[in-house]
Amino acid sequence: MATMIPERRSTEMHLNTAYRHMRLCSQVKGAESLISPIEKAITDLKAAYAETEQARINKEAANDLVNMHDAVLDDEVRNLFDEVKKYDRNNPTGKIMKMIFPEERYGDIVKAPLYSEPDEANKLITRIDSLGDHPLKQETGALSKAIAQSRESIATLKDLITQWKMVEAEEEIAKGKLRLQYEHNYLDAIKMFDKRFAQRLFPNLTKASKIQIEISNED
């Protein structure tokens, strides 16, 4: 029996096998009718694969932006920490470091999980706002902007991850349809020819052909 395409194989392998089958059919009189059905399955899988690749590229680009904005947010948290530290140094009677940074360090914030860091950083602004009309309020503008950018890029990444998973699922469906058509072609080929001859129209997927072995031995 001809070897059917294993489900676990890659899209590239699915397409390559189907193309090989098409080429073999084109060389046998009477097998031309098998080409059109598998060609449509190939076209559909190529389209689904292209969408998956584009979705993957979009997702990776968004992930890069998230990491960049996270680095900017880290810098702004550090900058605010330095400003609070400077304020306390210049105003020894009104120390507020512990009010803004309860642990008196910024590491817990910049090392927080990437998706939760904007919320942790926003707590700093909330604490400063609670001080009322305080000079440090003017130091929160850049941090607020960094938080907003980080949140926006994270939201975009989450949406693109969802889109990527959707088109990836559609690609798997297209792969399944190609495998099914490949099997139908095999059954149709048996009806057209005998089983032994029909196998000639389907490439061997389990071992190298004799010509490959002979060429390799010549090297």
C-alpha distances (whole Å) from 186 to each of 5, 37, 145, 183, 190 are: 12, 12, 61, 5, 6
Non-local (6+) Cβ contacts of 18 within 8 A are: 5, 38, 41, 42, 45, 178, 182
Q: For 172-177, what is the mean pLDDT?
A: 98
**Whole-number mean pLDDT of the chain?**
92
pLDDT in tens, 86-115: 999 999 887 899 999 999 999 999 999 999
Q: For 144-154, what is the mean pLDDT?
A: 98
pLDDT at 211: 39
Q: Check whether 67 has a pLDDT greater than 90.
A: yes
pLDDT at 207: 55
The pTM score is: 0.81
